[in-house]
Structure 1
């Protein structure tokens, strides 16, 4: 038993504060978890801007595709061709 006494005495020094850090992590875990839930449930302005940009690019791609289709039909049947009245990306719909 006396052989192990110096080792037992040096154990707190060897652990390097791991016990204190673990206790701190356990104590702050509910706060961190609550913060993460709030972060997941809300949308940041950056994320909202990114989503809006993506939505507008998709709308513009759709409008471009429909305009090309309209122009192709106009080349095939110029007598029945009028102004483009199809989908517009700037419409709020």
Structure 2
């Protein structure tokens, strides 16, 4: 009878052990997730840099087309291009 009672107690407390384990480990999981959210991965940094450079190159392209159009209208007033350049930080 004692063995049956002991087995019954162990089976009924199995869920409690998992719950206690979950409660104890929860703060560590939350802290780890917060650290992930607070930092930028290398993949994200590369993606953001690529987006920034594409935007800069698009701006340079627009300004160069505008410059070339102005040069076609008045070639004498045209010198070297000194407008926006994507490779140079502004």
TM-score, normalized by the shorter chain, greater than 0.5? yes
Aligned to 2:39: 42
Q: Which runs of 5+ in 1 are unaligned?
A: 1-8
CA distance in 2: counterparts of 1:32 and 1:21, whole angstroms: 15
Question: Within the alignment, does 1:24 sit opposite 2:21 as a pair?
Answer: yes
Q: Which runs of 5+ in 2 are unaligned?
A: 1-7
Deviations 1:14-73 (A, max 9, x none): xxx654443332221100110011111111111111111111111101100100110111
Where do 4+ consecutive residues of structure 1 move more than 6 Å?
A: none
Q: Across the two proteins, how many residue pairs are aligned to each other?
A: 80
Question: Within the alignment, does 1:81 sit opposite 2:75 as a pair?
Answer: no
SS at match of 1:85: coil
Give RMSD over aligned pairs: 1.8
CA distance in 2: counterparts of 1:82 and 1:18, whole angstroms: 80
